[in-house]
Structure 1
Amino acid sequence: MAARTPLTRERIVDAAAAVADESGLAGVSMRSVGKRLGVEAMSLYHHIAAKEQLLDELADWVFGRIGSPSPQAGWRDGMRARAHSAREVLSAHPWGLTLVESRRAAGPVLLEHHDAVLGCLRRNGFSVVLAAHAFSVLDAYVYGFVLTEQNLPFKPGERVEDFVAELPTFDERYPYMLEMVNEMIVGQDYAYGNEFDHGLELILDALTARLATEAGHSSG
C-alpha cells in the first residue's frame, strides 16, 4: 500500500482554494476540504485551528499569487504590473474578491505584499498620505473592474457588437449612447476588457500630476 501524502498547512490551503474555485467561498468548510484531501475534517485541526483561520490563509494564498513591485521598480511600472497581476489572479479566482481586504487577522503574505506596494510608492517620492490614496484608488479600480467583468451579460465568445445589435433601445432617444456605440463598437471588434488599460493609465496620469504638484509644494 502506498504511503499517504502527509497533511500540511500548504496542502490544506491549496485544497481549500480548489474547493472555492469549484463551489465558491460558501462551499469552503473543514468538511469539504477534508473530503477533497481524502481525510476526515478532524485531521485538519492539527494544522488549521478553525474555518476563520482557513479563510485568513486563503487571503494570504491570493496575495501570494499577485505580483508585488520589486524594490528596483519605478512606481508607475510597479503599479501597472501589479494591477495587471491582481486582475489576472482575481479573474481566475473570483471568490478572492470577498477576501482580499476583509480579513481582520492579516497574514504575513498579505502584509508583505501591502508593504511592498507602499514601499514602491514611498521610494519614488510619494508622501505617506498620497501613497495611501494611490493604493486605495488603484485597488478600488482593479477590484471594481474585475467585478464588472464577472457580471457582464455577454455569453462566452459573444461579440459585444452582436450583443448590442439585439438591444432595441439604442436609438435617437439616447443620442450619446448611440454615438458611443457607433464610434467604438460597431465594426470595431470592441472588447470590454480592453478598457482596463485605458482606465488604469488615466489613474496613473492623475497620480503623476498629483505627485508633481506635491513635489512643487514641498520645494516651494
Structure 2
Amino acid sequence: MTEGARRTRLSKDRVLRTAVALADGGGGIDALSMRKLAQELGVVPMALYKHVANKEELLLRMVDAVVGEIDPPVSGTDWKDAVRRRVLSARLVLLRHPWAPRVIESLPAPTPAMLGYLDSVIGTFRSGGLSADLTHHAMHAMGGRLLGFTQELFTAAPGGPASEAPDAPAAVAPPAPDAVMPYPHIAEIAAAATHDDGSVVGGGCDDLFEFEFALDLLLDGIDRLHRQGWTSAARRAAQRSAGPA
C-alpha cells in the first residue's frame, strides 16, 4: 500500500485505536509520542493534527475510548448488583490498559465519556430508590473504585509485581518477612491472609478478592444507610448536638 493510500484511510477512530495499542504495548503514555504514532500509522506527523490538536487532546480521547469499553448497565437487576457489575467491568478494562489510571487521575476535569459513565451510575443509584443526598455521598465514598482502580495500602516493591494502578504513588511498601517480627499484629494478619502468586496487588494478596471485598463493604453500607432513611442533614445535626469529642 502506498503512503498516499494509507493517508486517505486515516481517521480519528484509527488514530485512537493505534494510540491505545501503542500505550498498551509497553512503556505506557511516556513512550507514546505524536511522531511514534505517525510512524505506526505510516503517515507524516502533521497528518495527525487533522484529528487531534496535540498529545493532550490525544490522551483525553484515549481515556474516552477506554471508558467506552465498560459494559453498559444490565436491566432487570437491583441497584447493588447493577453497580457491582459496572465497577468490576471497569476494573477489567483498566487491567487491559494499565496506563489509564495515571491519565485519569491527572485529568483537570472528567472527559465526556467519564461524565456519561458516572451519570449512568448515579442514575442506577437513584432508580434504586436512593436519595440524591445519599447518592452524592455514595459517589464520594466509591471514588476511583467506580472507574475500576484504587490505590492499595501495600503496593508492590520496586522491581516487584505491578499494582492495579502502577503509576500511583506508593502508600506503604510491603514489609519483608523478617521485618514484621517486632510487629505481631502485622505478622498475624499476614499469616492469616490467603495469597495468590499471580496477584498484581503488592504482598501477593488475591487482588480480585480484595477489590470485591471492599466494593461489597461499600455497597452494603450504602444500602444500610438507604434503608435507615439516612440524610446528611440529620447526621450533621447529631454531630452538632453531640458537641466536640
Q: CA deviation at 1:206?
A: 0.7
Paired residues of 1:118 and 1:131 also in contact (CA < 8 A): yes
Q: Gaps (5+ residues) in structure 2?
A: 162-173, 199-203, 233-245
Summarize the Cα distance change of 1:53–1:145 in structure 2 as closer, same or farther, 3 Å threshold.
closer
Determine the structure 2 residue equivalent to 1:177. Answer: 186
Q: CA deviation at 1:36?
A: 1.5
Q: How does 1:60-75 map to 2 (within 5 A)?
A: 60-70=64-74, 72-75=76-79
Summarize the Cα distance change of 1:45–1:213 in structure 2 as closer, same or farther, 3 Å threshold.
same
Paired residues of 1:122 and 1:128 also in contact (CA < 8 A): yes
Instruction: Verify: 1:15 aligned to 2:18, yes or no.
Output: yes
Q: Could you tell me the TM-score, scaled by structure 1's length?
A: 0.78
Residue type of the partner of 1:48?
V
Q: How does 1:9-48 map to 2 (within 5 A)?
A: 9-21=12-24, 22-48=26-52
Q: CA deviation at 1:202?
A: 0.8
Aligned residues: 207
Determine the structure 1 residue equivalent to 2:229. Answer: 214
Determine the structure 2 residue equivalent to 1:161. Answer: none
Determine the structure 1 residue equivalent to 2:206. Answer: 192
Q: Gaps (5+ residues) in structure 1?
A: 157-163
Determine the structure 2 residue equivalent to 1:92. Answer: 96
Paired residues of 1:70 and 1:116 also in contact (CA < 8 A): no
Summarize the Cα distance change of 1:34–1:151 in structure 2 as closer, same or farther, 3 Å threshold.
farther
Q: CA deviation at 1:141?
A: 3.8
Residue type of the partner of 1:47?
H
Other structure's SS at 2:229 match: helix
Q: Deviation per CA, 1:79-123, whole angstroms, max 9, x where unpaired?
A: 111121121112221211123354456544333212211111111
Aligned-pair identity in percent equals 33
Residue type of the partner of 1:6?
R
Summarize the Cα distance change of 1:139–1:69 in structure 2 as closer, same or farther, 3 Å threshold.
farther
Q: CA RMSD in A?
A: 3.2
- Which of 169, 177, 200 is matched with 1:167 structurally? 177
Paired residues of 1:62 and 1:100 also in contact (CA < 8 A): no
CA distance in 2, matches of 1:37, 1:114: 33
Summarize the Cα distance change of 1:155–1:101 in structure 2 as closer, same or farther, 3 Å threshold.
closer
Determine the structure 2 residue equivalent to 1:202. Answer: 217
Summarize the Cα distance change of 1:129–1:36 in structure 2 as closer, same or farther, 3 Å threshold.
farther
Q: Could you tell me the TM-score, scaled by structure 2's length?
A: 0.71
Q: CA deviation at 1:155?
A: 5.0
Q: How does 1:22-171 map to 2 (within 5 A)?
A: 22-70=26-74, 72-100=76-104, 102-104=106-108, 106-141=110-145, 146-148=150-152, 151-153=155-157, 155=160, 167-171=177-181
Paired residues of 1:73 and 1:120 also in contact (CA < 8 A): no
